[in-house]
Amino acid sequence: MLDVLLQMAFLVVCGVVWRVAKPGGLDVDQIRQALTGLVYYLLLPALVLNVLWQAPLSLDTPRIALSAASGVIGGLLLSWAICRKQQMPRAAVGTIMLAAAFPNATYLGLPVLEAVFGPIGRSVAIQYDLFACTPLLLTVGMSVAQHYGSHATTTHPATAILKTPPLLAAILAVLLNLAGVPLPDVIHNWLGLMGGAVSPLMLIALGLSLRWDTLRVAHAWPVLIVAVIQLALMPIWVWLAAQLFGLSGNTLAGVVLEAAMPSMVLGIVICDRYGLDTSLYAAVVTATTVLSFVTLPLWFGLLS
């Protein structure tokens, strides 16, 4: 696990160094947006289609989704209760709830699980995110952001889903899988070629997204709240829930590791859009990402 995380860390550091050095004088945020756009709209859908089209679908699929959903809902409720007791500003409440509930299941979780567990881990990561986290983000998560934010932006969940290429690719892949449509070798190789670029590009983009200037003393308490929930409490909750739902073996381990991932990077965009505390969210993402390279090996050791 340590060797895997070191490899992941080196790619993240590449993004961090690029953000600081700015080689060629190119705008760092534009590079990040170009990379994430390429992955989100083309490469990740190709990977999802290739994996789920031929994955052995079973009762583990709804079990993974239920386990992931329980973690997201648990994170939302626990963070809301803490923020209410602390009487935090509305923008900070919405920011903390999003950061504590939604893990970085794809941009970090997918490369880690794929490297540790192989095809099984890759399938778990995709199902964890696309069958639970993404639908909940587009419905409950957006509602939270709209309620606590200052920008009156409304998006119907159906419209948001239609604009989510990886989720549409997952639905298509499952339909093809259940219908027994064979995956031609030429398409399999083509999708595999594109999907192979997903992990390194996502990790470099993650490094480009980390904003060290947001790590301030004023953010220490909210960051600590999210770190404890996201990196410690939610993995425990999901571990118990997943066993209750009947998961075991590497599938169980993969689900728990997904729950132990740091806060999702996409939340920065959501905070900007709905008028939440973007600086605080960036600080949370940076801090939890760095801390996860310490906590993830501990969780893997416990699961082993």
Nearest by Cα to 97 from 72, 70, 129? 72
Query: CB-based burial of residue 197 (10 Å sphere; 0-12 exposed, 13-18 middle, 19+ buried)?
Result: middle
CB within 8 A of 180, min separation 6: which ones? none
Query: Residues, the chain, total?
Result: 304
Predicted confidence (pLDDT) at residue 157 exceeds the cutoff of 70: no
pLDDT, tens only, 70-92: 999 999 999 999 999 988 999 99
Model confidence at 213, pLDDT cuts 50, 70, 90, reads: confident
Domains identified in the chain, total number: 1
Segment 20-33 shows an average pLDDT of 85
pLDDT mean over 255-278: 90
The burial of 102, by beta-carbon neighbours within 10 Å (0-12 exposed, 13-18 middle, 19 or more buried), is given as buried
Tell me the residue range of the domain where 10 lies.
2-303
Q: Alpha helices, DSSP H only, in the chain? A: 2-21, 28-38, 44-54, 60-86, 90-101, 109-117, 119-128, 134-136, 142-148, 157-162, 165-178, 185-195, 198-209, 220-228, 234-245, 249-259, 267-274, 278-303
Q: Assign residue 261 the CATH number of its domain.
A: 1.20.1530.20
Q: Which residues contact 158 (CB under 8 A, 6 or more apart)?
A: none
DSSP 58: -
pLDDT tens per residue, range 233-260: 999 999 999 999 999 999 999 999 999 9
Residue 156 has pLDDT above 70, yes or no: no
Query: Which pTM does this prediction carry?
Result: 0.87
